[in-house]
Amino acid sequence: MTLPLNIYQLDDADSIMTPALLVYPEIVDGNITATLKMAGNDPNRWRPHIKTTKIPAVLRQLLARDVRNFKCSTTLELLTACQVGARDVLLAFPVMGANARRVIDIAEQFPATQVSVLIEAMEQAGVWKGTKVGIFIDVNSGMNRTGAAPEDVSKIIALAISLGAQLRGIHYYDGHISGTETAELEARAHAGYNTLLGIVKQLQAEQVAIGEVITSGTPAAPFAASYAGFRGAPFVHRISPGTVVYNDMTSLEHPFESGYRPAALVLATVVSHPTRRSITCDAGHKSVSVDAGVPNCAVLGWPHLRPLKPSEEHLPMEAEDGIGLPALGKKLYLVPRHVCPTVNNFDDAVMVSNGAVRAIERVSARGHESPFASLAHA
């Protein structure tokens, strides 16, 4: 990665224990600006997924830019969003049992926040009846992770009618639309949106009001923005990319407009020179996630270093013969391949501005609540 190292370097990096999560608020703000541009400079068209951000101070940056609607995946993320004053939060995960009861607890605790959930079948609807929790019907985009099958339109219609006023809209996450072949990906995404709009029109023909349609995480967001069917539609359409707030190696490969930069790095220290052409730093897969594959990161300022398979606390790197290696004790700035689970590895984030530590912020939404949270608040 050829980004300039100087804009990320800390003046007193040696005072920080590593591995450490570094977050750059000014770069975050630039990424917010770039995403709002994608959304037609309309904050109401963006419902970012906060599985990436997880830090109240960063959520407040979004709120300061009039982004008021959010998505999340866990009750802890939901609680954190409500605590910072989010207006509207969708728990975009099919919660059931004690998890569903905890969502109701949180919704009652924060009446100023509209809390909603996803369902795909009649069996999931009963627990929400008579609560203030809104409901989105989840439609399978072809990713085959969750959602009602789009060909089962009659079941979707019956479910929608049964929900009555609690129905808020349709959720359609096309996370499998990813890669670098822009024209092909756009055609695939638009074909999916054609199917989605067909379902919406059939619902409307049955007098079912659809207030909102949510699509598109980070990879597909530009294609939703370019889709003509969402313009002037009789519903609010929102995209839901979250990774773009921080960005990572993977998101920066997508066909976005310019303006995105990585805003969350991992600071590591070189702790070993095991061979004449390799080093090891202290940021294994318990720090920099390896779920997206190897190499799991890029090293700013050291493009010839190739990260190898990490172990729990060790990250070995290899260089070509004859090319200099960073000295023992040298600090390295790592751009994760997948920033979302990387952020989840840290309890605290070092907020960096102009080469100095501005604050230490708790990564409040990392992990999960206590398994007995629903009982504790009963």
pLDDT at 3: 81
Domain boundary pick from 247, 276, 293: 247
pLDDT, tens digit (0-9, with 9 covering 90-100), for 282-307:
999 999 999 999 999 999 999 999 99
What are the angstrom distances between the C-alpha of 172 and each of 8, 124, 192, 249, 375?
Answer: 36, 18, 9, 25, 32
Residue 166 CA to residue 168 CA, distance in Å, equals: 6
Q: Which residues of 78-98 are buried (b: 16+ CB within 10 A; e: fewer)?
A: bbbbbbbebebbbbbbbbeee
Which CATH number fits the domain that encloses residue 340?
A: 2.40.37.20
Domain boundary pick from 206, 224, 247: 247
Which CATH number fits the domain that encloses residue 184?
A: 3.20.20.10
Domain encompassing residue 309:
5-21+258-362
Domain boundary pick from 224, 247, 270: 247
Average pLDDT over residues 192-200: 98
Amino acid at 259: G
> Are 37 and 126 within one domain?
yes
Count the Cβ atoms, other than its own, within 10 Å of residue 180: 9
61 near 96, Cβ under 8 Å? no
> Are 34 and 78 within one domain?
yes
Instruction: Tell me 48's DSSP state.
Output: -
At 303 the three-state DSSP class reads coil
Q: Is the pLDDT of residue 181 over 90?
A: no
pLDDT at 254: 77
Q: Is the pLDDT of residue 257 over 70?
A: no
pLDDT, tens digit (0-9, with 9 covering 90-100), for 111-169:
999 999 999 999 999 999 999 999 999 999 999 999 999 999 999 999 999 999 999 99
Show the tokens assigned to 316.
């070995």
> Are 350 and 220 within one domain?
no
pLDDT, tens digit (0-9, with 9 covering 90-100), for 75-90:
999 999 999 999 999 9
CB burial class (10 A; 0-12, 13-18, 19+) of residue 153? middle
Number of domains comprising the chain:
2
Q: What residues have CB less than 8 Å from 46, skipping those under 6 apart?
A: 35, 36, 39, 67, 69, 238, 239, 240, 241
> Are 225 and 292 within one domain?
no
